[in-house]
């Protein structure tokens, strides 16, 4: 039976530090949830609590209607009907591939005939039948990963947990294995939770993404929602390839002004970024532009422009991501523009970036949250 997952007020403290700081999530049965975020954001600690390797300081975890962790409840890992693939695979080196896959069934005291049938079924599903008699040290890293996944799904768990399983693979194999993991997810029908810091993995694999920051969920939803409608400037600059551009601005005379004063308050004559949507004068904000919303311009072309110093040009899917920097050394910002061809410039040369009439999003500078969300709060 497929099982959904619910986290309510989930918290994990290590001494005075909150590694996970009050997470509330509800994951539908059969979903593929990706816990995404930078190092130290709490995603692996969350996964370890789901697996039963860490006990929450507060809150609870439900698999379906069953509480597996919470006040007075701490089900052992083996009683949670969940399988876990570690980043290191953790295969038994003295056991063959077949024995590694069979081991959880032996522990569960599955009858021998059923064990043999299930092992052969899983080996075939992972396309590793020919490796059955070999030992982990005799097969490649990619093959070891398949064995680890086969061992995890052999007992038919209702929840699959993945701790950065692709991090040890080369770039080409990572792409191939992403498709394999999705095929396995669909074949098992289980609810999957996958930890990664790679937003490309999240965008290509997830039905739901929980982007984490400092132990909290910054935004939760389908991957397209985080990309198309970021709830904060952190989400905007983390998601997307290339990610969105975010610039500081202040409201002056009902307009968004970028770079109008230096740190000492001296007026430098800033760039008008468009109307301030009713925000009060003096309000400090951060404005977002997607790379495809900007374009390179020439002097005298008219309209607002940013002057950037060219840094690099990266080919991407038949186009070029042109990146430069803007601002003084104390608060330098990278700006990326999507162009059809590489400009004929060298690193450090000036470029003019044309801006649309208004930004794609406006965020509150103090909280980082989208302005309409700040108003709603």
Give the DSSP H or E segment for 99. helix 97-107
Query: Is this model's pTM higher than 0.85 or not?
Result: yes
| Residues 87 and 205 occupy one common structural domain | yes
CA distance 246 to 251: 16
Q: pLDDT above 90 covers what percent of the chain?
A: 74
Give the number of other CB atoms < 10 A from CB of residue 260. 17
| Residues 313 and 221 occupy one common structural domain | no
- Mean pLDDT value across residues 156-184: 86
Residue from 41, 49, 94, 43 nearest 67 by CA? 49
| Residues 88 and 195 occupy one common structural domain | yes
120-150 pLDDT per residue, tens: 999 998 889 999 999 999 999 889 988 999 9
pLDDT of residue 263: 39
- Mean pLDDT value across residues 356-376: 86
Host domain of residue 196: 5-237
Which one of 57-66, 254-263, 295-304 scores highest in mean pLDDT?
Answer: 57-66
| Residues 139 and 92 occupy one common structural domain | yes
CA distance 277 to 157: 51
| Residues 15 and 111 occupy one common structural domain | yes
- Mean pLDDT value across residues 301-316: 88
pLDDT of residue 191: 96
pLDDT of residue 301: 63
Tell me how many domains the chain contains: 2
pLDDT of residue 167: 80
15-38 pLDDT per residue, tens: 999 999 999 999 999 999 999 999
| Residues 38 and 16 occupy one common structural domain | yes
Residue from 126, 83, 127, 120 nearest 98 by CA? 120
CA distance 35 to 164: 10
264-282 burial, b at 16+ Cβ within 10 Å, e below that, comes to: eeeeeebbbbbebeebeee
Residue from 201, 199, 200, 221 nearest 210 by CA? 221
């Amino acid at each position: 039976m497929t099982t959904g997952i619910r986290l309510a007020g989930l918290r994990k403290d290590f001494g005075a530090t909150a590694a996970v700081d009050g997470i509330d999530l509800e994951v539908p049965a059969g979903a593929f949830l990706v816990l995404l975020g930078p190092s130290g954001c709490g995603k692996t600690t969350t996964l370890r609590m789901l697996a039963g390797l860490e006990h929450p300081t507060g809150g609870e975890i439900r698999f379906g209607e069953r509480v597996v962790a919470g006040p007075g409840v701490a089900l052992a890992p083996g009683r949670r009907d969940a399988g876990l693939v570690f980043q290191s695979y953790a295969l038994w080196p003295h056991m063959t591939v077949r024995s590694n896959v069979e081991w959880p069934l032996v522990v569960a005291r599955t009858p021998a005939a059923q064990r043999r049938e299930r092992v052969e079924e899983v080996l075939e599903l992972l396309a590793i039948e020919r490796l059955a008699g070999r030992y982990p040290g005799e097969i490649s890293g990619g093959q070891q990963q398949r064995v680890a996944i086969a061992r995890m799904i052999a007992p038919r768990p209702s929840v699959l947990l993945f701790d950065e399983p692709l991090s040890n693979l080369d770039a080409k194999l990572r792409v191939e294995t992403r498709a394999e993991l999705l095929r396995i997810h669909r074949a098992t029908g289980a609810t999957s939770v996958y930890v990664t810091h790679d937003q490309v993995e999240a965008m290509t694999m997830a039905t739901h993404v929980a982007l984490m920051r400092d132990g909290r969920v910054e935004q939760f939803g389908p991957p397209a929602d985080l990309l198309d409608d970021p709830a904060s400037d952190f989400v905007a600059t983390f998601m997307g390839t290339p990610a969105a551009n975010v610039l500081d601005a202040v409201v002056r005379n009902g307009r968004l002004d970028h770079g109008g004063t230096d740190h000492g308050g001296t007026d430098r004559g800033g760039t008008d970024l468009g109307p301030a949507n009713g925000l009060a004068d003096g309000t400090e904000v951060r404005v977002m532009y997607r790379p495809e919303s900007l374009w390179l311009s020439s002097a005298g072309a008219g309209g607002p422009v940013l002057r950037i110093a060219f840094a690099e040009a990266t080919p991407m899917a038949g186009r070029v991501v042109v990146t430069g920097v803007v601002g003084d050394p104390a608060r330098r910002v990278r700006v990326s523009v999507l162009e059809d061809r590489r400009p004929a410039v060298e690193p450090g040369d000036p470029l003019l970036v044309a801006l649309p009439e208004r930004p794609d999003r406006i965020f509150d500078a103090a909280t980082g949250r989208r302005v309409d969300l700040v108003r709603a709060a």
